[in-house]
Amino acid sequence: MRTRIDTVLLDLGGVLIDVDYHASARAFHDLGHPDFDRLFSKARQDHLFDGFETGAISPAQFRDRIRQLLGPQLEDERIDACWNAMLGSIPQERLDLVQRLKERYRVLLLSNTNAIHVPAFEAIVARENGIADFKALFHGAYYSCALGLRKPDAAAFHHVLAQHGARPASTLFIDDSIQHVEGARQAGLHAEHLELAHEDVLGLVRRLGLLAYTISQ
């Protein structure tokens, strides 16, 4: 694979940063909303989360919709805290991996995320890893809420690669969501599904032989 790939495109959530998607439901539950999972499904049906991830819905509109679903008494700060509860840390060895990959490849990031999560995870990395400019870790980093495009749409992949003159046929995409992996393949990229129940990104990179030396854990 090293002879064919010159660009590595990484997902963020699950690949680099630990994410517990149930933590937000638990946080809302602790506020007295035990049926958040059901309401979450209802909000998904009216494309609240897709719209938020593409920037079509503002943070204020998102919070207002959450209040419509869960109750008008919820303050902005409480909504944000519950929504961000799913965000964990980025282990330092994964950031070290990015640096090692950059020695051999063009390394890009493409994340489906939103305007409440972005400052939250950037603050986590600044606080826990001492990194003031998270995007500077990559040759290019792109958030769906700023692009107006999201995975698994081919346009999202093609837009990001075009910014760097990268070809789909020489790009490897790594994501923990199978629908994004399938979308990338349909867009002409090589793509690997990171199955978090079995390995993390360090193990996947080692298994694929992307680096010529051992990645320490």
Q: What is the mean pLDDT of residues 136-158?
A: 97
Distance between CA atoms of 37 and 141, rounded to whole angstroms?
A: 31
Q: What average pLDDT score do residues 173-183 get? A: 97
187 touches 181 (CB < 8 A): no
pLDDT, tens digit (0-9, with 9 covering 90-100), for 54-105: 999 999 999 999 898 888 889 999 999 999 999 999 999 999 999 999 999 9
* Cα gap 101→211, rounded to integer Å: 7
Q: Name which of 8-22, 28-42, 137-151, 193-207 the model is least confident about.
A: 28-42
Structure confidence at residue 206 (pLDDT): 94
Domains of the chain by start residue, with CATH: 7-19+89-208 (3.40.50.1000), 21-86 (1.10.150.240)
- Across the chain, mean pLDDT equals 91
Burial (Cβ within 10 Å: 0-12, 13-18, ≥19) of residue 34: exposed
Give 187's pLDDT tier (boundaries 50, 70, 90): very high
What tokens appear for 213 in the block? 């030396």
What are the DSSP calls for 35-81, one per residue?
A: THHHHHHHHHHTTHHHHHHTTSS-HHHHHHHHHHHH-TT--HHHHHH
- Confidence at residue 107, expressed as pLDDT on a 0 to 100 scale: 98
